[in-house]
Amino acid sequence: MTHRGVVWSGSAREPAGRQREGASPVTETTHATQARPYPFSDPHRLDVDPRYAGLRRDEPLVRVQLPFGEPAWLATRHADVRTVLGDPRFSRAAAVGRDEPRSVPYQRESGILGMDPPEHSRLRRLAAKAFTARRVEELRPRTRELADELVAGMISAGSPADLVAHLATPLPIRVICDLLGVPVADQDRFHTWSEAIVSTTSLRPEVAESYLDQLLSYMAGLIAKRRVTPTDDLIGAMVRARDENADRLTEDEMVRLAAGLLAAGHETTVTQIPNLVYVLLTEPAVWQRLLDEPSLVPSAVEELLRFIPLGATSAFARYALTDVELGGVLVRAGEPVLVSIPSANRDETVFPDADRLVLDRETNPHLAFGHGPHHCIGAQLARMELQVVLETLLTRTPGLRLAVPPAALTWKSGLLVRGLTALPVNW
């Protein structure tokens, strides 16, 4: 049954290894092993489940069963994850009409994330110019001003202070608002609605759907205003592209793309900023090294992105369009494959001392922003914001430290991403 873009299907976990009606015949070598319940364990802080190391070594492609949807393969090695994300033989669009593996009982239209080239490329090009390296560097001075202003406010408020409330949340929101042309005064509303994008169990299904509807309605209202009063921001540019050539994107595509950029443009960075600071403050020698060598900040950000398992579970399965040999296993046409980014980023064959934080790691092909056609369009923006945050904290609060024991910190739950609800600090 569909309801406002939601597809309800599959009431519970399918018994492991059950043959779906109409599925291709299976072979003993590829499907004899029962699908393992996945995720393997509940996320704990920023730990990577130790089972991934054994899988990368002995069973790099393993059958898994998420709480809802059909069984899937899970790729754990760096090379296999890159293949699934970048090889056109694996399709996101093929998930349409399938009982896609997922963590929630309903299926929701995934917009641009559910498309393959060339349709995906058509939409991505409309937004890509706003996120180029050159455009992001033009934003760096203003981002530094914002970071300095926010940290100054935190210092003025006195310690202990919550880094999430004072810095991690407002900075990415203000930056994406400036880029898109969204009133920052509305941040409380759209930040709340954006949880629907990353929620697994944190919101009841009807609440998540209501939030999504409100976010889309809000964005449709901003687009309508642009038609009356044109602007030079990204939303204004999309409106011009739509009105000058309707074949470039539909009205619904424009609304969903703009809403997705607003939500994705701040949600993950809001979460990742305190994650980075938490890791650094629980490794005092690492924080001290950055104080002594601030030029390491860019490489440190890349290493922290590799090291921190932002994702709480795997999502957005790719479906094989033809038989593909992957990780020593034959994946048959029509079978879904999930990838574990945290596991790929700890692959010892790619990253020496993979379980150790190496701030000056020279070669760091991490997959924190994905790979292939769906590589995060805002990767350069997120990098810049994380660099600016660290530089500002190192300069303004060199004595930064946790205000409570690490065990006393609370963590978000029921989301696609891991993060702290608050990060009390002293300086």
- Are 7 and 25 spatial neighbours (Cβ–Cβ below 8 Å)? no
CA distance between the termini of the chain? 54
- pTM assigned to the model: 0.89
Is the preceding peptide bond at 170 cis, omega within 30 degrees of 0? no
Is the preceding peptide bond at 39 cis, omega within 30 degrees of 0? yes
- Are 309 and 366 spatial neighbours (Cβ–Cβ below 8 Å)? no
How far apart are alpha carbons 324 and 30 in whole angstroms? 12
Q: Measuring CA to CA, which residue among 69, 62, 133, 160 is closest to residue 107?
A: 69
| List of domains in the chain | 2-426 (1.10.630.10)
- Beta strands 336-339 and 36-37 are unpaired
Q: Which residue has the tokens 């920023």?
A: 46
- The pLDDT tens digits along the chain (427 residues) read 333 333 333 333 333 333 333 333 333 344 546 899 999 998 889 999 999 999 999 999 999 999 999 999 999 999 999 999 999 999 999 999 999 999 988 887 778 889 999 999 988 988 888 888 898 999 999 999 999 999 999 999 999 999 999 999 999 999 999 999 999 999 989 899 988 888 888 888 899 899 999 999 999 999 999 999 999 899 998 898 888 876 678 899 899 999 998 988 888 999 999 999 999 999 999 999 999 999 999 999 999 999 999 998 999 999 999 999 999 999 999 999 999 999 999 999 999 999 999 999 999 999 999 999 999 999 999 999 999 999 999 999 999 999 999 999 999 988 889 999 999 999 9
How far apart are alpha carbons 241 and 235 in whole angstroms? 10
